[in-house]
Structure 1
């Protein structure tokens, strides 16, 4: 049990962190029908904004967690207003190419400002250290990541199923023309959804900053992981994002412990198996977002 317990906790921690990051990508696709390749760059911005506030300006981690994702959301609004709004009604390949270009612009801008060196953020003192759990020492910050993932999961479920805003988002995802006929300002909904997806990416970036190294290439790695999640779970599906993230977290948690030599290969193998037996993903493209 001493080996199984930490593997389970690591899987849950990684799965929930990946869910926080990837669910924004899935929400944007479900409502806007675009593949946002810049999502990883927005996650990277969240990490760098957090690094700036914590390590350079000396502000508390909690202030960074509140404000850095808002900065990412503001940038997303500018991206939507200045660029994306011109391609929403065009072929989905156009959105992929444009957001890929945006990703490159953001990555190179970050590289020119911060340089290519690896940066680090340390967790706040209250979350530093370890506790004994399931017979093994476990980082307190990892428990915080699990708690934040569960809080965001519960909040998203409540948003989509119990609030008027969530119902408007679902209506815009199902039939934008009908939503407009019902006097819903779909232009504002589209901008809000894109900003909300970016906010989630920014939250994931700040939370991941004390766990992962911060560098200009971190967005490229996370976008690959995010696409693996949405392919496994199903494009545009909120529950699919959770299932895909937990599966990928389990692959990392157990694969890293028991099959370390194949750990880089296992996520792609899992994705290939899902595509082989269920090409639309576990929850399918038509699942609720």
Structure 2
């Protein structure tokens, strides 16, 4: 982050101003003209919270994608299918055992094992062949979608969280239309979304520390830059890459359980989250965990605010962000030039 601020002072200043403005919008008393322009503050806060928690879900999916695509240069367009598979497995486990928590490790392990098979039988044989990887993984995603449709059907499934996570939590913020005074508004928000947001932050920090402060992270980054030289030192680079692919696939499976908890698991969600992951990686920068977090936050907020204030053009806002980033910073916000 310090490197980004030093090399991009203008962008850093813009981001600082935006963050300060959002904090003011949350805690300040709104003047009358702002209420007339935007509407009730509770609607704004609800869209903001929904955008942040949706961004957390996008980050869980896209962080695995940026590991596989950005670091390993593997074009895995079946990543959305891994997300959907994890959601279906999580639903089956939770529905069979009654344990929401058990769905997470089971989905992670099963989807990670499937990722190992993909890496060993598909990507290891097509290293550096982007076009073949693209076509093969598109075929795999189509086959997986048909198999999941055959087994689970076309119904919409929702994974029920435990009772201690089912209720809302009450928060309050200052509101009003006068500059000198205001009143407190109380807003209820699902606890499970806040817990998932906290878990996404913890996972992101752990991933960043693993890639930048551990020996295995050093091996991964060195293998991406020059795998032949790293192999010559005796490092088992293929084993490292299999582990990274398994972890990235497992994160997609984990995100499937999260998505099935506060949204739904249904056919077509694989395409939606694949596109979202691509946009997040393009905006944040390939191979950058902080970039994936920023990109996911921007896309989540754009979707939610777009659906509330400009529902006709909600999808356009997402791709407008991507176009602006590609126009002014093609490597992504935190990507390496």
Both proteins in one fold, TM over 0.5: yes
Per-residue deviation at 1:238?
A: 2.1
Aligned in 2, Cα 1:159/1:187: closer, same or farther, shift over 3 Å?
Answer: same
Residue 41 (structure 1) aligns with: 81
Per-residue deviation at 1:148?
A: 1.1
SS in 2 for 1:6: helix
Residue 82 (structure 1) aligns with: 121
Give the counterpart of 1:166 among 217, 221, 225: 217
Residue 237 (structure 2) aligns with: 186
Q: Is the 8 A contact 1:123 1:141 kept in 2?
A: yes
Unaligned runs of 5+ in 1: none
Residue 285 (structure 2) aligns with: 234
Residue 72 (structure 1) aligns with: 111
Give the counterpart of 1:200 among 226, 251, 268: 251
* Alpha-carbon separation, structure 2, partners of 1:201 and 1:115: 21
Q: TM-score, normalising length from structure 2? A: 0.80
SS in 2 for 1:133: strand
* Alpha-carbon separation, structure 1, partners of 2:279 and 2:148: 25
Q: TM-score, normalising length from structure 1? A: 0.93
Q: Is the 8 A contact 1:30 1:173 kept in 2?
A: no
Give the counterpart of 2:154 among 113, 116, 119: 116
Give the counterpart of 2:135 among 63, 75, 97: 97
Q: Are residues 1:50 and 2:90 paired?
A: yes
Q: Is the 8 A contact 1:31 1:190 kept in 2?
A: no
Deviation string, structure 1 residues 8-36 (Cα, Å, up to 9, x no partner): 32222111211111011111123321221
SS in 2 for 1:34: coil
Q: For structure 1, which segment, 11-20 or 234-243, has the greater mean C-alpha deviation from structure 2 after superposition?
A: 234-243
Deviation string, structure 1 residues 134-193 (Cα, Å, up to 9, x no partner): 331101111111111111111112211222222211221222112112211011112111
Q: For structure 1, which segment, 217-226 or 7-16, has the greater mean C-alpha deviation from structure 2 after superposition?
A: 7-16
Unaligned runs of 5+ in 2: 1-40, 173-185
Per-residue deviation at 1:58?
A: 2.6
Residue 276 (structure 1) aligns with: 327
SS in 1 for 2:261: coil
SS in 2 for 1:137: strand
Residue 32 (structure 2) aligns with: none
Q: For structure 1, which segment, 199-208 or 237-246, has the greater mean C-alpha deviation from structure 2 after superposition?
A: 237-246
* Alpha-carbon separation, structure 2, partners of 1:109 and 1:252: 30
* Alpha-carbon separation, structure 1, partners of 2:209 and 2:327: 33
Number of residue pairs aligned between Structure 1 and Structure 2? 284
- The root-mean-square deviation of aligned C-alpha atoms, in Å, is 1.5
Larger relative contact order (Cα-Cα within 8 Å, sequence gap ≥ 6): 1
Larger radius of gyration: 2
Per-residue deviation at 1:236?
A: 2.4
Per-residue deviation at 1:4?
A: 3.5
